[in-house]
């Protein structure tokens, strides 16, 4: 019920509470009841993430607080059940109506891992059907229960608020005070000049920001307004805001997805999820249920999400979340909770203004005192001191700052970048560090296998030929190489189709596509191979496990376990390897030799994968099939650097901007890319791979977050 996810700081712990998901009432109950408990100093619950933060005194431990949270959840559930009993005096029909809402709500809040459920279970949970969908009556009831399926648009700033914002700075306020003082001392011309400067400053800022606001607001009118669903057994087109949970979405190429949904059918379906995950490559979807806990959003291949785009194929999906309960809705809620911070320029202008006030008042006071002591009249010295104070205010400072920022917005607009406020331009100009993803950003994400290492033999792959020691070799004449190629095809999620002419169409990630192309070049019939070894189960790689494995049936009633992944991790779980054509025990010395070869290949800027396999008896039911593997070899893939990246990074460094390259590849591969870009150590290119990030302490991660400006 309650899981501790962070308790490294004494007196402070963060918990994962599944029942909290999307339950605003439970959030309020826990915050109120726990805060009233002696020894609990602070409680903050978040229904969007199911997390709850508790700060407590020394007499409590993290486990004791977890038990306290469980007790409060149990009390909350008892109170909820008692509230349902109040309806016992109603008729059976009224009772059904009264209890439907809590039951459906409980399911929607409690069962959030739709990707782990079978399709039939999801359909049953929403009382819908793949063939007929919802009835019109059920759809209307759901629409009435949960409201329309739209995200509240961000409030646009009114013309008045934009104009008022132009006066919210200390230098402008000083000018206003100076104008008032000038009027008081009968310096009307000075007052008019100062007010003219203030008005010009406000006009420039207002015109620039109002133009950007209108352009950004107009972009919302180009969104899709309707989608196709199945209702009453027919395909109909309805407004997106009328989509409800339980609806069956009809997914077509080129259409935006109207709500979060679990896939029921997928025919060559691919979806662009970059709006949610940042991955620019479309994701190939399937209907199979997934296994495992805490599967990242990007790896939920049987789900589709609101606001993403269908780039290919077609399919059907049952809606599991709408409006603010979608993943896009949760992002919008987080953005809405974010608070704006002062930019460096704003802080500096306010600091200058404060210093001017202090220094000006001090000097004016000194002048006034000296004049009085020397016998001048009080009124005369007061007017002189005030005139001196007005003269000390730099009238041109706000106008120069506003004009410079306005020119920056205009320049960005010419480069097809829209900036809403003047301060944002200044923030962009203050960037000191930029993080760049290697694959697909620095490189072209166009992988190709160029080298294979098996049995102490280096094999170069070029234009479909396998060359070792200057001679072409036939993969079918090399048992270990052929097994490596077969395992690379089987432990692979790329979708492969073959037409009547024998031509292949391949859809998947660049890395896995490269392995398929290697197999095709070797003469392997990929389609027949996969039909021969039927896929039983897939174990995907995860955050702390850089290995993927698949389990397949064989003709002799055994199971083939195909494994690929990080060479170091794969080698550690291998017990045997091929040596001189025979399978022998893999020793620690052999593992060191593999590591040396891996570093050599990675040092050539190659993405390197380790390949292994094992054969199990079909009655072997061990939970972890990735044991006692046989090592097959290394596969090295090249990914060319994008044209212009070298010049772009050089421009960053000339502008004083540091660059950080973040990659899941090994450090030698990343350093080789840096060398190819001719980046010296003085050029401030840092390289963080996934291993480095996993080993960073919370303090180091915080320091990195403080340092990084742009991802």
* Per-residue model confidence (pLDDT) at position 395: 64
Mean pLDDT, all residues of the chain: 80
* Per-residue model confidence (pLDDT) at position 1: 64
Q: Per mean pLDDT, which range of 40-44, 481-485, 569-573 is the poorest?
A: 40-44
Is 433-443+641-707 a CATH 3.40.50.300 domain? no
* Per-residue model confidence (pLDDT) at position 636: 95
Tens-digit pLDDT profile for residues 410-456: 888 788 777 777 777 777 777 888 888 887 788 888 899 999 999 87
pLDDT greater than 50 at residue 342 = yes
**DSSP state, residue 295:** -
pLDDT greater than 70 at residue 222 = no
Fold of 448-638: Calcium-transporting ATPase, cytoplasmic domain N (3.40.1110)
Q: Using an 8 Å Cβ cutoff, are 636 and 607 in contact?
A: yes
Tens-digit pLDDT profile for residues 228-240: 999 999 989 898 9
CA angle 224, 230, 233 (to 5 degrees): 155
pLDDT greater than 70 at residue 35 = yes
Per DSSP, the residues of 78-97 read HHHHHHHHGGGGS-HHHHHH
* Per-residue model confidence (pLDDT) at position 459: 94
* Per-residue model confidence (pLDDT) at position 368: 84
* Per-residue model confidence (pLDDT) at position 6: 77
Q: Using an 8 Å Cβ cutoff, are 440 and 281 in contact?
A: yes
- Pick 99 or 250 by higher pLDDT: 250
* Per-residue model confidence (pLDDT) at position 27: 81
Considering the candidates 437, 599, 692, 709, report the single residue annotated as catalytic: 437
Tens-digit pLDDT profile for residues 106-165: 334 345 689 989 999 999 988 999 999 999 999 988 888 888 888 766 566 677 887 887
* Per-residue model confidence (pLDDT) at position 90: 36
Phi, psi of 480 (to 5 degrees): -65, -40
- As a CATH number, domain 2-87 is 3.30.1360.10
* Per-residue model confidence (pLDDT) at position 698: 52
Secondary structure in 3-state letters for 30-42: HHHHHHCCCCEEE
Q: Using an 8 Å Cβ cutoff, are 564 and 491 in contact?
A: yes
Q: Is 98 helix (H, G, I), strand (E, B) or coil?
A: helix
* Per-residue model confidence (pLDDT) at position 82: 57
Q: Which two tokens stand for residue 640?
A: 């060319």
pLDDT greater than 90 at residue 663 = no
Q: Which two tokens stand for residue 232?
A: 């009453």
Per DSSP, the residues of 95-119 read HHHHHHHHHHHHHHHH---GGGS-H
* Per-residue model confidence (pLDDT) at position 96: 33
CA angle 155, 156, 162 (to 5 degrees): 130
* Per-residue model confidence (pLDDT) at position 556: 83
* CA–CA dist 620, 581 (Å, integer): 28
Per DSSP, the residues of 520-548 read HHTT--HHHHHHHS-EEEEE--BTTB-EE
* Per-residue model confidence (pLDDT) at position 228: 92
* 574-579/433-437 β-pairing: unpaired
Per DSSP, the residues of 589-604 read HHHHHHHHHHHHHHTT
Averaged pLDDT for residues 392-401: 71
Q: Dihedral sign, CA of 89, 91, 92, 96?
A: negative
Tens-digit pLDDT profile for residues 363-381: 888 988 998 888 888 777 7
**pTM here?**
0.55
pLDDT classification of 681: cutoffs 50, 70, 90: very low
* Per-residue model confidence (pLDDT) at position 490: 96
pLDDT greater than 90 at residue 186 = no
pLDDT over 90, % of the chain: 25
Per DSSP, the residues of 383-425 read HHHHHHHHHHS-THHHHHHHHHHHHHHHHHHHTT----SHHHH
Phi, psi of 211 (to 5 degrees): -65, -45
Q: Per mean pLDDT, which range of 54-58, 152-156, 705-709 is the poorest?
A: 705-709
Helices (H) and strands (E) in the chain, counts: 23, 27
- Pick 183 or 106 by higher pLDDT: 183
* CA–CA dist 589, 378 (Å, integer): 95
Q: Per mean pLDDT, which range of 324-338, 548-562, 666-680 is the poorest?
A: 666-680
Q: Per mean pLDDT, which range of 293-302, 475-484, 616-625 is the poorest?
A: 616-625
**DSSP state, residue 468:** E
* Per-residue model confidence (pLDDT) at position 219: 53
* Per-residue model confidence (pLDDT) at position 91: 30
- Known catalytic residue: 165? no
- Pick 687 or 506 by higher pLDDT: 506
Structural domain boundaries in the chain: 2-87, 159-219+341-410, 433-443+641-707, 448-638
Tens-digit pLDDT profile for residues 267-312: 888 898 988 887 767 888 989 888 877 788 888 999 999 989 998 8
pLDDT classification of 170: cutoffs 50, 70, 90: low
pLDDT greater than 50 at residue 76 = yes
pLDDT greater than 50 at residue 54 = yes
* Per-residue model confidence (pLDDT) at position 424: 77
**Residues whose CB falls within 8 Å of the CB of residue 218, separated by 6 or more in sequence, listed in order:** none
């Amino acid at each position: 019920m309650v899981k501790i996810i962070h308790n490294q700081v004494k007196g402070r712990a963060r918990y994962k509470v599944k029942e909290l998901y999307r339950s605003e009432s439970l959030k309020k109950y826990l915050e109120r009841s726990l805060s009233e408990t002696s020894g609990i100093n602070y409680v903050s619950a978040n229904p969007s993430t199911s997390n709850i933060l508790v700060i407590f005194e020394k007499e409590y431990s993290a486990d004791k607080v977890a038990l306290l949270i469980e007790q409060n959840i149990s009390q909350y559930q008892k109170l909820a059940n008692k509230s349902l009993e109040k309806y016992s005096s109603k008729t059976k029909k009224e009772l059904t109506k009264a209890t439907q809402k809590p039951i459906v709500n409980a399911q929607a809040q409690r069962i959030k891992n739709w990707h782990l459920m079978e399709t039939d279970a999801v359909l049953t949970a929403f009382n819908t059907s793949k063939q007929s969908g919802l009835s019109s009556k059920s759809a209307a009831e759901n629409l009435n229960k949960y409201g329309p399926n739209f995200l509240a648009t961000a409030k646009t700033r009114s013309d008045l608020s934009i104009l008022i914002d132009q006066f919210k700075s200390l230098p402008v306020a000083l000018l206003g005070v100076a104008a008032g003082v000038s009027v008081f001392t009968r310096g009307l011309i000075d007052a008019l000049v100062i007010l003219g400067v203030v008005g010009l400053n406000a006009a420039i800022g207002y015109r620039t920001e109002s133009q950007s606001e209108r352009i950004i607001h107009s972009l919302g009118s180009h969104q899709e307004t309707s989608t196709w669903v199945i209702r009453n057994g027919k395909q109909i087109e309805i407004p997106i805001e009328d989509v409800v949970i339980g609806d069956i979405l009809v997914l077509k190429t080129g259409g935006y997805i109207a709500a979060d949904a679990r896939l029921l059918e997928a025919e060559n379906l691919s979806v662009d999820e970059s709006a949610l995950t940042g991955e620019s490559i479309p994701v190939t979807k399937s209907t199979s249920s997934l296994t495992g806990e805490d599967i990242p959003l990007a790896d939920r291949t049987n789900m589709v999400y609101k606001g993403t785009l269908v780039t290919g194929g077609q399919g059907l999906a049952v809606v599991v979340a709408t409006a603010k309960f979608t993943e896009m809705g949760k992002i919008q809620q987080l953005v809405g909770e974010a608070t704006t911070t002062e930019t460096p320029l704003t802080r500096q202008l306010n600091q200058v203004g404060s210093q001017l006030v202090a220094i000006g008042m001090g000097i004016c006071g000194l002048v006034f005192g000296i004049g009085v002591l020397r016998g001048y009249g009080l009124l005369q010295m007061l007017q002189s001191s005030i005139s001196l104070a007005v003269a000390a205010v730099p009238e041109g400072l706000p106008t120069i700052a506003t004009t410079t920022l306005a020119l920056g917005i205009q320049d960005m607009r010419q480069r097809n970048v829209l900036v809403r406020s003047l301060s944002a331009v200044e923030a962009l100009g203050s960037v000191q560090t930029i993080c760049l993803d290697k694959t697909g950003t620095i490189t072209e994400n166009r992988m190709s296998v160029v080298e294979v290492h098996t049995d102490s033999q280096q094999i170069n792959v070029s234009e479909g030929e396998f060359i070792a020691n200057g001679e072409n070799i036939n993969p079918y004449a090399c048992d270990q190489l052929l097994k490596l190629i077969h395992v690379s095809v089987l432990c692979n999620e790329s979708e492969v189709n073959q037409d009547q002419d024998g031509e292949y169409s391949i859809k998947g990630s660049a890395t896995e596509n490269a392995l398929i192309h290697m197999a095709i070049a070797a003469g392997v019939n990929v389609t027949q191979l996969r039909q021969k070894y039927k896929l039983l189960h897939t174990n995907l790689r995860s955050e702390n496990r850089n290995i993927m494995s698949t389990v397949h049936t064989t003709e002799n009633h055994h199971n083939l376990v195909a494994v690929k992944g990080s060479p170091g991790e794969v080698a550690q779980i291998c017990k045997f390897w091929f040596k001189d054509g025979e399978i022998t025990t893999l020793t620690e010395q052999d593992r060191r030799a593999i590591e040396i070869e891996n570093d050599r290949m990675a040092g050539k800027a190659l993405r390197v994968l380790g390949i292994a396999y094992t054969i199990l008896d079909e009655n072997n039911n061990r939970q972890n099939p990735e044991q006692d593997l046989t090592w097959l070899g290394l596969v090295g893939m090249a990914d060319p650097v994008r044209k212009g990246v070298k010049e772009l990074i050089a421009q960053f460094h000339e502008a004083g901007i540091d660059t950080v390259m973040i990659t899941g590849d090994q450090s030698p591969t990343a350093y080789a890319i840096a060398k190819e870009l001719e980046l010296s150590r003085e050029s401030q290119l840092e390289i963080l791979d996934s291993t480095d990030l996993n080993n960073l302490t919370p303090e180091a991660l915080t320091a990195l977050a403080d340092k990084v400006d742009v991802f």
